Structure 1
């Protein structure tokens, strides 16, 4: 019950209120079910003995109440009343079932959305340690398991439990000894079976979670390394890693479903025995055939309602037990959740300089990547960062962007320290162009205004950004212009076009600080020259920070900082620092 209680605590207030309303609906459904079962007693009594109304006070009162003219008319009225009660019971159950299914699926949707938002709010260090396949599995697969295997069965469990309790209570009131014998016999069978299989269900559920995670990981790795795998002819052998976890998941799922259905086979065999037991019980009490019909009909109709209820209760409990690992995962990942406040539109004032004061950073318990960085980046200047691989360039930029937090020291903008309150205001000023621009399978406009709802995209801002990035003419030549879809990851565009779209994206919200994180390193020199032309147009009007792959890319930089071993070892113009790079500078001017 602990994971279920944790899930209830995670529900939003409106969902808790809806859960209370559904609870009232379940009570109403149980009441109508009871009325439907009880309504067959007068009808069957009259079928066996039409004159019973004259002897039984309750039937006489009912007959007088409806003004039935004769026995046949009263029998017909009782039959139609029983049909109406059963119809109302069925309609109520259908409506409540729909409300339950809608509620559980919407709760699952909201939990998955909150889980996705929680992951997206984490810093880059979290993603450096986490496996993206596991995160995707938690958001997509585990929340689906939670809905199908925990929330929905839990609602079914409550519904069927209330129905069963109501019917059993009525049977006990009508014929206590027989009801207790049959109820205890069938109920104990379900309880005994569950106690036998509960541990097995827990093991199968944990195995399913592990298999699901492994499936997601293998599929993600197959698509990520597809080019190399095809080149080396290793697609089949690499993809074979999918087989074991997928088969394990399939077997665990099949076994879990079988366990849930196990009692049905035994109950079907015992149900006919229950009918015989009712007959023998009635005959043993000296009852005649006419008196047997109402009792037999009542227990047969009650069994028709009860046995599926018992089966659904067992199946729901089995499914919950099997899928509890999903509930634990989702509840654990959302523990301590705090809703992100709305992003303010204001910008942090920036006219002077960005300053890093004794800044250090380490990834967890590893050795520091940056040590004692003291740096001033003046506004409206172009500043370059160079250094060997592992020197700390990208980490330094990550700190300036605010996607990483310093382990020691502080970063200020015009004297204002960057913290949880000021960081969003600072990030509103920044545009970012990564080495590999990620494009979504949507229109050019949607890619430039990434994340802006389609109805809110400003076409004028899109075109302005594209013109500054020197990509407007390329877009205008496309079949549908800015409405042209670029394909998955921009496969319909060249590398240089994708990078210039990335620059346009960074410029869409008109930032005055633009960061180029090795944005030209994957391009050939001719294409890089075209992209650098777009970058050069920004010089002097904005603060530009560049991590460069080639020294030639920094020919317009006002100042270049050289990093080595997590420290700034040289600063100055390109001409001043180039000799200090020593063997790191090749004939082509590359920094290795």
Structure 2
């Protein structure tokens, strides 16, 4: 901003000089060089032709200078606006990252993306840019107004009053329509983004079911609904200039010509040419910054819905504790056990407990499993262990010491989670295994070892580009089992001490699954594994199996022990063996 204000002042002065030169130029052209009422009449004392050449040259030069200054001013405005957009979007992204996991259970990813990018971009266009235009436009208008006032006095005063009142009236008139169009546009843009995201995410189903027309029709209908609000939102702010500018020019010439129309002396028409030319050029110089000024005000008033949507993200308070590097250096994996003691949990939007008085003990270096019907509380318990969700009551104990909120980020750095539905980056094997690391931080030897441990050696060696092979968006070029193994390789690379496999081997054949579990068991580090599985062959060798039902622990024990004392678990075994 410290560069924009001086530049706006210099631009205003250059426009004033251009207006003054027009006056002098037309005095010379009509041969009225001694007219005392015209400013700058004694600027040159040379012959008329040389005067004319010099004036034209200076006029052209100052026009180039003024145009260059306006372009430079706009460049500084847009650079600052873009910088603010980047800063605001980074704040929005940081605020979202700093929310607890349950925030993402209620918010849609498409809407969050829209708020970060589209709405904040609109704020930069409808708030930041207008503010910058108002600031710079005010200085330019002030200088030109002073110049016109000094030259045309009363006529200039009435002209500016008319322009200000006209712009104000039209701005107040169109603002409600712009605001309505903006609100509707936000809703419909979100709908369009949702349709596009859903169709791309389910592209296989789209092709197999022939649903292209269905999504195209939805997109077309949403686009047609959005169309009037899109063009109105961009066109209505231009209305003041489109009406006031020609009307103002008409008024200028009417004021200038009226005294001479009543007097038929031809000499009078020659004398008013410099006056009319100067006022016309001054008004042309005045109109763009005045338009910027009032369009800025209109955009500010009409863009309130965009600001409201963006503030919902920009004003989010951090709810998640960030990693403490000092604590991380001395935070270690517990040596004996991880315990969930009398732990209960209910989601913020729920009246019922999803977990009720859970007691679980996980031996370090051991393998345990959670089994039960869908919705019985297995994954919610895993989220508690990972501290993605925090208990409503009860505690998580590491070696019988309570895990505090300050320790959560450092505890999470020791954990890895592999879900059934894997989300991968649109990159190569290296960037997906060494997740979240810059290229110079990546150990490719370790990436290769991790992929080999995840039973992907044959796949990588058969690819021409090896580790640098692009896997497509969300690993679309890979099978489900290969995607799952990349996620497991990621856990190997990150030296996870606790690994939760949530149906993470469901897409593997029995042989590959067995080899992978053996690889997990033979890791050099003491790895603690929690299986969440319906395929019971996965959990036969577990140290303890917890059976969940309606958010409670129904039974626990080793495989054969649980088979004897739990009828529902025995039934699960029969069903598993049958299929």
Q: What is the TM-score of this pair, normalised by structure 2?
A: 0.89
How many angstroms apart in 2 are the aligned matches of 1:282 and 1:76? Answer: 32
Q: Name the residue aligned to 1:130.
A: 107
Tell me the secondary structure at the aligned position of residue 422 of structure 1: helix
Q: Name the residue aligned to 1:205.
A: 182
Cα offsets for 1:140-194 (capped at 9, x unmatched)? 2212222333322432343333322321232123222101222223332222222
1:585 is aligned to 2:572: yes
Query: 1:515 deviation in Å?
Result: 1.5
Query: 1:233 deviation in Å?
Result: 4.7
How many angstroms apart in 1 are the aligned matches of 2:401 and 2:90? Answer: 34
How many angstroms apart in 2 are the aligned matches of 1:216 and 1:275? Answer: 49
Query: Which structure 2 segments of 5+ residues have no match?
Result: none
Q: Name the residue aligned to 1:119.
A: 96
1:32 is aligned to 2:14: yes
Q: Name the residue aligned to 1:184.
A: 161
Alignment root-mean-square deviation, CA? 3.0
Cα offsets for 1:180-237 (capped at 9, x unmatched)? 2222233322222222221111111101011111112222233344444555555433
Query: 1:318 deviation in Å?
Result: 3.7
1:472 is aligned to 2:457: yes
Query: 1:73 deviation in Å?
Result: 4.3
1:293 is aligned to 2:273: yes
Tell me the secondary structure at the aligned position of residue 587 of structure 1: helix
How many angstroms apart in 2 are the aligned matches of 1:426 and 1:56? Answer: 81
| Cα distance change of structure 1 residues 528 and 206 upon mapping to structure 2, 3 Å threshold | same
Q: Name the residue aligned to 1:429.
A: 414
Moved more, 369-378 or 346-355: 346-355
Q: Name the residue aligned to 2:480.
A: 495
Query: 1:556 deviation in Å?
Result: 2.2
Q: Name the residue aligned to 1:326.
A: 306
Q: Name the residue aligned to 2:500.
A: 515
Q: Name the residue aligned to 2:373.
A: 388
How many angstroms apart in 1 are the aligned matches of 2:218 and 2:536? Answer: 43
Query: 1:265 deviation in Å?
Result: 4.1
Query: 1:406 deviation in Å?
Result: 1.3
Q: Name the residue aligned to 1:16.
A: none
Q: 1:364 aligns with which of 348, 360, 367?
A: 348
| Cα distance change of structure 1 residues 73 and 229 upon mapping to structure 2, 3 Å threshold | closer
1:89 is aligned to 2:75: no
How many angstroms apart in 1 are the aligned matches of 2:344 and 2:239? Answer: 61
Q: What is the TM-score of this pair, normalised by structure 1?
A: 0.87
Contact (CA 8 Å) 2:337, 2:364: kept in 1 or not?
yes
Query: Which structure 1 segments of 5+ residues have no match?
Result: 1-18
Aligned ranges 1:420-569 → 2 under 5 Å: 420-538=405-523, 541-569=526-554
Contact (CA 8 Å) 1:205, 1:321: kept in 2 or not?
no
How many angstroms apart in 2 are the aligned matches of 1:513 and 1:83? Answer: 75
Number of equivalent positions? 569
How many angstroms apart in 2 are the aligned matches of 1:215 and 1:552? Answer: 45
Query: 1:131 deviation in Å?
Result: 1.6
Tell me the secondary structure at the aligned position of residue 500 of structure 2: strand
1:258 is aligned to 2:235: yes
How many angstroms apart in 1 are the aligned matches of 2:299 and 2:231? Answer: 12
Query: 1:268 deviation in Å?
Result: 5.4
Moved more, 480-489 or 329-338: 329-338
Contact (CA 8 Å) 2:418, 2:501: kept in 1 or not?
yes
How many angstroms apart in 1 are the aligned matches of 2:374 and 2:566? Answer: 13
| Cα distance change of structure 1 residues 419 and 92 upon mapping to structure 2, 3 Å threshold | farther
Q: Name the residue aligned to 1:355.
A: 339
How many angstroms apart in 1 are the aligned matches of 2:205 and 2:286? Answer: 60
How many angstroms apart in 2 are the aligned matches of 1:264 and 1:380? Answer: 74
Tell me the secondary structure at the aligned position of residue 52 of structure 1: coil
Q: Name the residue aligned to 1:280.
A: 257
Q: Name the residue aligned to 1:302.
A: 282
Q: Name the residue aligned to 2:137.
A: 160
Cα offsets for 1:292-319 (capped at 9, x unmatched)? 2331121011122123333344444444
